[in-house]
Amino acid sequence: MSEYLPGLEGVPATQSNISDLDGTRGILTYRGYRIGDLARRSTFEETALLLLDGRLPTREELAAFDADLRRNRVVKYNIREIMKYLPATGHPMEMLQTAVASLGMFYPGDECLTGGDVCGDLNYVHNMSVKIIARMATLVAMWEHVRNGYDPIPPRKDLGYAENLLYMFNGEEPDPLLARIMDACLILHAEHTINASTFAALVAGSTLASPYLVIAAAIGTLAGPLHGGANQRVVEMLEEIGRPENVRAWLDGKLAKKAKIWGMGHREYKVKDPRATILQGMMRELMEQRGGSMGPLFETALALEEACEEKLAPKGVYPNVDFYSGILYKEMGIPPDQFTSIFAVARSAGWLAHWREQLKDNRIFRPTQVYTGESERDYVPIEQR
């Protein structure tokens, strides 16, 4: 009988050369490049192309990729009309999954995946990846206006990816530092080995489903609070605490009840998540630009991290990427329920890199199970029961 491991913990599901992490030393790399170097020196566009192609692009290759992204930002008005009929109170991740799945009806793209044969056309794979990455940000920003009763702000081709995303959200060109922080946030969230949503993308991709449905499957998985939805919970948690002086009493109460502290702990990291360290540094940079002034959320977060270090660090529990990302998004004017959607925008690059990798040596996923039900038995007619 096969051994059952809940959550498939520690069970290799695939072979990949896209990203790697060392949870003991707190190191995350994309294609061998440290995440800190990419966040500081690269752009989301360059990092996305690195993930897709496996190497840093030349200046000409990056310019062509960036131009393709800008050309594909606009979506057909039909998508906007679909959004208008969705409940304004619905969660943005539910909208995003619906909209991405519907893209395949307006932009057919499964012609290379028919007949049961794996597609070996890298131009097809690349072009579909560009179209999806380009439109993810557009869909998320469109919804912010549509759900509030307004027409969406059209994307601009003269702005970079992160700049355009913030522009479409707020209707004005973003502060350069905020645009750079958003760019870095997208890089930090773009990929993270075989997590739940990436595994969902692999499973869907292994069936030769269209790339739109592959990404829709991943979005649905990311939406859960134990995965991408945690950054929204962090902000709600900090708002519940209120102020730094309330932290220790609040934490003691939660720990006594063995309640979850959102943004704390990660299955893979035994030290502080390197992405959390980078985000914390960005918060301080933003605070310095504003003359040392910052909202109470950041001060409360710092106090909570300090208190958790005393209580939880001995158990190997430290801040993860969700602990500071939500605070930064809030400072950019993004509503908390859109945080996970921004996560999905970034992670689309990693999902599509894994989709491409899956197609290279595809075999449909078909795990087994450990059956715990009844043994074979006879059917009993209803009048005899």
Q: Is residue 323 domain-shared with residue 347, that is, in the same domain? A: no
Whether 234 is in a domain gets the answer: yes
Rg of the chain over all Cα atoms, to the nearest angstrom: 22
Q: Is residue 205 domain-shared with residue 66, that is, in the same domain? A: yes
Helical spans, DSSP H, in the chain: 35-41, 44-53, 59-71, 77-84, 92-106, 122-146, 161-170, 176-188, 196-206, 211-222, 230-241, 247-256, 274-289, 296-311, 322-331, 339-360
Whether 366 is in a domain gets the answer: no
Whether 85 is in a domain gets the answer: yes
Determine phi and psi for 237, rounding to 5 degrees. Answer: -65, -45
Q: Is residue 174 domain-shared with residue 79, that is, in the same domain? A: yes
Q: Is residue 196 domain-shared with residue 281, that is, in the same domain? A: no
- CATH at 262: 1.10.230.10
Q: Is residue 183 domain-shared with residue 312, that is, in the same domain? A: no
Task: Collect all residues with Cβ–Cβ distance below 8 Å to 375 and sequence separation of at least 6.
Answer: none
Q: Do 234 and 292 meet the contact criterion of CB atoms below 8 Å apart?
A: no
* Residue numbers in the chain where pLDDT is lower than 50: 1
Tell me what pLDDT residue 62 has: 98
Give the single-character DSSP code of 86: S
Last residue of a domain, one of 286, 314, 331: 331
Report the sign of the C-alpha dihedral through residues 168, 174, 176, 179, in that order: negative
Q: Do 140 and 98 meet the contact criterion of CB atoms below 8 Å apart?
A: no
Q: Nearest to residue 194, comparing CAs of 37, 9, 39?
A: 9
Whether 243 is in a domain gets the answer: yes
Q: Is 266 a catalytic residue?
A: yes
Give the single-character DSSP code of 10: T
Whether 52 is in a domain gets the answer: yes
Give the single-character DSSP code of 244: G
Residues 165, 95, 160: CA angle, nearest 5 degrees: 10
Q: Is residue 186 domain-shared with residue 276, that is, in the same domain? A: no
> What separation in angstroms does the CA of 23 have from each of 44, 187, 281?
24, 19, 20
Q: Is residue 266 domain-shared with residue 346, that is, in the same domain? A: no
Counting the structural domains of the chain, the total is 2
- CATH at 49: 1.10.580.10
Q: Is 322 a catalytic residue?
A: yes
* Domain of 159, in residue numbers: 19-225+338-360
Last residue of a domain, one of 285, 314, 331: 331
Q: Is residue 40 domain-shared with residue 107, that is, in the same domain? A: yes
Q: Nearest to residue 147, comparing CAs of 74, 94, 213, 219?
A: 94
Q: Is residue 181 domain-shared with residue 50, that is, in the same domain? A: yes
Whether 385 is in a domain gets the answer: no
Q: Is residue 292 domain-shared with residue 345, that is, in the same domain? A: no
Whether 8 is in a domain gets the answer: no
Burial class (CB in 10 A: 0-12, 13-18, 19+), 7: exposed
List 68, 183, 273, 322, catalytic entry:
322
Tell me what pLDDT residue 115 has: 52
Whether 188 is in a domain gets the answer: yes
Q: Is residue 214 domain-shared with residue 342, that is, in the same domain? A: yes
List 266, 273, 337, 361, catalytic entry:
266
Determine phi and psi for 154, rounding to 5 degrees. Answer: -65, 145
Report the sign of the C-alpha dihedral through residues 138, 140, 143, 148, in that order: negative
- Per-residue buried b or exposed e for 12-51, using 16+ beta carbons within 10 Å of the residue's own CB: eeeebebbebeeeebebbbbebebbebbeebbbbbbbbbb
Q: Is residue 195 domain-shared with residue 242, that is, in the same domain? A: no
